[in-house]
Amino acid sequence: MAQQHEWLDDVGSNTYADQLAVGFRRLRFSAPLESEYLDFVRDDRFELQRTALIGAIVLWCAFAAVDQLLIHSQERWWMLAVRALVLVFLLVCAFLLVQRKYTQLLNPLSIACISALGLGASAVIAIAHRVDPHYPYEGLLLVCMAGYFLVGLRLSEAIISPLLMLSGYLLFELMVGISTPLLLNNLLFLLFGNLIGIVGCYLLEYKSREHFLISRLMRVLADHDSLTGLHNRRSFNRQLERLWRLAQREDVSLAMLICDIDHFKLYNDRYGHQGGDAVLQQVGQLLAGAGRRPLDMSVRLGGEEFAVLLYDISPGEAHQRAEQLRAALEHLRIAHAGSETAGVVTLSIGVACLQPAQGGALGQLYEQADKALYQAKSQGRNRVVS
């Protein structure tokens, strides 16, 4: 079932690419990714499962009317009572699902509804077979198919309801004394129908998981620089606007560090573009560790220019963080014979720190950091200016 994704060879290592590479034949991801996938499935299929439940209620009522047309003995009232009990249960579940605050109950309630439909239908069929052995039982297979395909359950969840339904059907039919040949014929039909449903449900979930990984990977590739793995300018602009608004609401400061590799063109001229790419990657690794909080962000703006966004930090702390980055790169002692500043690769960093709640425009943060970077370069490079 695993497919060859040759294009993954050109993608850097990340959670989604690594999972695609190793496969998931047992329909299971690594623990953190599995949790993310389950959240994705629950949110993605919420409307589908609510709609399916409404459809199930309508069909259940329609079949209750059919029962009254097919069965004319006293048994039809027992059949109606069973349908009424199941209908009440479905209505309670529908009431809970109409309110989005119970989304965590979506899958358990869906399984419970399918199981109730299956067991209820099994009981109705068994009651009908007391007076009419030819009463149609094939509707049970429709309930199973709904669990496999229409409700959007995963295979491990969808298989629960058919197992309960088949067990209930066997028990109810034995209680009413249906003939053994007819019972075996019906069970074989239902079993083979469920096997087809299991295979189909497996294929659907496999494709769903593959789609999840590829779509998340495409999002990562769209928002990240392919060489360094840092966020790109597009992602930076979106995050900066979001953090600016958040800092306004929470009345905290936002700092920006704009970093530029000193004399990078001279480095490329002397060591070649492969050597230059290696330096960019090393700088990217340093900057990736600069963000220590969930809302912090490291970015490659383009060429040899990088930026770091730091949320809720004082000007002094931001300056100190920038100085640590500058010193860390210098400490790597990456030879740069063409540098007019030092014999190693160095960084110039401009730092700006603003409190959005005190007024001012979003663009001021970038402008001030850029001016500080210009001063760092004009003062001899390999330094931090705030």
Q: What is the CATH number of the domain that holds 339?
A: 3.30.70.270
Q: Which residue has the tokens 């991801």?
A: 29
User: According to the model, what pLDDT value does residue 142 have?
Assistant: 87
Residue 230 has pLDDT above 70, yes or no: yes
Q: Is residue 36 part of a domain?
A: yes
Q: Which residue has the tokens 């600016």?
A: 244
Q: Is residue 227 part of a domain?
A: no
Q: Is 117 exposed, middle or buried (0-12, 13-18, 19+ CB in 10 A)?
A: buried
Q: What is the mean pLDDT of residues 154-172?
A: 92
Residue 49 has pLDDT above 70, yes or no: yes
For residues 319-329, b (16+ Cβ closer than 10 Å) or e, as one string? bebbeebbebb
Could you tell me how many residues make up the chain? 386
Q: What residues make up the domain containing 179?
A: 6-221
Last residue of a domain, one of 171, 189, 221: 221
Q: Is residue 228 part of a domain?
A: no
Last residue of a domain, one of 197, 221, 245: 221
Q: Do both 31 and 118 map to the same domain?
A: yes
Q: Do both 195 and 250 map to the same domain?
A: no
Q: What is the mean pLDDT of residues 43-71?
A: 87
Residue 132 has pLDDT above 70, yes or no: yes
User: According to the model, what pLDDT value does residue 294 have?
Assistant: 83
Question: What's the pLDDT band for 316 if we cut at 50, 70, 90?
Answer: very high
Q: Do both 323 and 378 map to the same domain?
A: yes
Q: Is residue 226 part of a domain?
A: no
pLDDT cut 90: percent of the chain above it: 52
Residue 38 has pLDDT above 80, yes or no: yes
Under a CB-based contact definition with an 8 Å cutoff, are residues 280 and 226 in contact? no
- Distance from C-alpha of 150 to C-alpha of 166, rounded to nearest angstrom: 19
User: According to the model, what pLDDT value does residue 298 have?
Assistant: 92
Q: What is the mean pLDDT of residues 219-232?
A: 86
Give the tens place of pLDDT for each residue, 197-207: 999 999 999 99
Q: What is the mean pLDDT of residues 13-31?
A: 86
From the candidates 304, 305, 323, 367, give the one annotated as an active-site residue.
304
Q: Do both 261 and 348 map to the same domain?
A: yes
Q: Is residue 1 part of a domain?
A: no
Residue 2 has pLDDT above 50, yes or no: no
Question: What's the pLDDT band for 149 if we cut at 50, 70, 90?
Answer: confident
3-class state of residue 297 by DSSP: strand
Q: Do both 204 and 252 map to the same domain?
A: no
Q: Is residue 259 part of a domain?
A: yes
User: According to the model, what pLDDT value does residue 212 have?
Assistant: 93
Q: Do both 41 and 61 map to the same domain?
A: yes
pTM above 0.75, yes or no: no
User: According to the model, what pLDDT value does residue 333 have?
Assistant: 93
Q: What is the mean pLDDT of residues 370-377?
A: 94
Question: What's the pLDDT band for 358 if we cut at 50, 70, 90?
Answer: confident
Residue 374 has pLDDT above 50, yes or no: yes
Question: What's the pLDDT band for 12 if we cut at 50, 70, 90?
Answer: low
Q: Do both 301 and 322 map to the same domain?
A: yes
User: According to the model, what pLDDT value does residue 13 have?
Assistant: 67
Phi, psi of 225 (to 5 degrees): -75, 130
Q: Is 304 a catalytic residue?
A: yes
User: According to the model, what pLDDT value does residue 47 have?
Assistant: 82
Q: What is the mean pLDDT of residues 24-39?
A: 90
How many Å is the maximal CA-CA distance in the chain? Answer: 102
- Which string of DSSP letters, residue by residue, matches 199-223? HHHHHHHHHHHHHHHHHHHHHHHHH
Q: Do both 110 and 175 map to the same domain?
A: yes
To the nearest whole number, what is the mean pLDDT of the chain? 89
Question: What's the pLDDT band for 227 if we cut at 50, 70, 90?
Answer: confident
User: According to the model, what pLDDT value does residue 289 have?
Assistant: 84
- Distance from C-alpha of 121 to C-alpha of 130, rounded to nearest angstrom: 15
In the chain, the number of structural domains is 2
Q: Do both 142 and 246 map to the same domain?
A: no
CA distances from 381 to 104, 262, 305, 323, 346 (A): 55, 7, 14, 13, 8
Q: Do both 186 and 261 map to the same domain?
A: no
User: According to the model, what pLDDT value does residue 9 have?
Assistant: 59
User: According to the model, what pLDDT value does residue 341 have?
Assistant: 84
Q: What is the mean pLDDT of residues 256-281?
A: 92
Residue 138 has pLDDT above 60, yes or no: yes
Residue 110 has pLDDT above 60, yes or no: yes
Last residue of a domain, one of 187, 221, 255: 221
Q: Do both 245 and 203 map to the same domain?
A: no
Q: Is residue 283 part of a domain?
A: yes
Q: What is the mean pLDDT of residues 300-317?
A: 92
Q: Is residue 10 part of a domain?
A: yes
Q: Do both 45 and 174 map to the same domain?
A: yes
